[in-house]
Amino acid sequence: MAKIKFNQSFNVNRVVKRLVRTILALYVGGTIISVFGTVMENTSSPFYTGLSLIGWTVDASTNTITATSGSGVLAVVGIIAIAQIVTEFITW
C-alpha cells in the first residue's frame, strides 16, 4: 500500500497557475454554455441525448430543450482540476 505524505517542497507558482486556469476555464465555460443555452432554449434538436449529458433538460417526446441551467461537464472539469491541485501537496 502506498504511503501518502505532505509535499513540503510544492511549487507555489504551479499551484497558483493551476488555480487561476481552473477558475478561468470554469467561468468561460459557464458563460459559453449559458449563452448557447439561452439561444437554444425552446428549440428542437436531434441531439437531445448529448444535450442531456451536459445538464440541459430536454423533453424526450418533442426533443425540445426546456431548461439550460447547470452543466454536468463543468462539474467534471472542476472536480478533475481540484484533484490536480490537491495532488501538488502530496507525494506517493
Give residue-wise pLDDT tens across range 32-86: 888 888 888 888 878 777 877 777 888 878 878 888 776 677 888 889 989 988 8
What is the DSSP annotation of 36-92? HHHHHTT-B-TTHHHHHHTT-EEETTTTEEEE----HHHHHHHHHHHHHHHHTTEE-
Beta bridge partners, 58, equal 65
38 is a domain residue: yes
pLDDT of residue 88: 86
Residue 3 in any domain: the answer is: no
Q: Is residue 43 part of a domain?
A: yes
Does 4 map to a domain?
A: no
Q: In this structure, is residue 85 part of a structural domain?
A: yes
Q: 91: Cβ–Cβ under 8 A, 6 or more apart, which residues?
A: 4, 5, 6, 7
Share of the chain above pLDDT 70, in %: 97
- Written as nine digits, the cell of 37 is 443555452
Q: Do the domain assignments include residue 1?
A: no
CA distance linking residue 37 with residue 22, whole number of Å: 22
Tell me how many domains the chain contains. 1
In a domain, 25, yes or no: yes
Q: Is residue 31 part of a domain?
A: yes
The range of the structural domain enclosing residue 76 comes to 13-91
